[in-house]
Amino acid sequence: MNWLLSFLDHMFMVIILVIFVGTLISFAKTLNRIYKPFETLHQELQNKYFK
């Protein structure tokens, strides 16, 4: 019975980790989508003024 509890405990930890990582990745993708236009704008400004 004890090994089953430890196994479930490990599974729980792994599931939390997977959810955490997935949330981080989706958050990063959203940030990238928001940030992309700003990046292109910055690039255009640099090309215009800092040749």
CA-to-CA separations, 34 to 28, 30, 42, 43, 44, in angstroms, rounded: 10, 6, 14, 15, 17
Look at the pTM and tell me if it is higher than 0.75.
no
Give the pLDDT band of residue 27 (cuts 50, 70, 90). Answer: very high
Place of tokens 């990238």: 32
Chain mean position to CA 8: 27
pLDDT of 32 above 70? yes
- In the predicted model, what is the mean pLDDT of the chain? 88
Predicted confidence at residue 24, as pLDDT, reads: 93
Of residues 35 and 7, more confidence is placed in 7
CA-to-CA separations, 13 to 18, 42, 43, 48, in angstroms, rounded: 9, 42, 43, 51
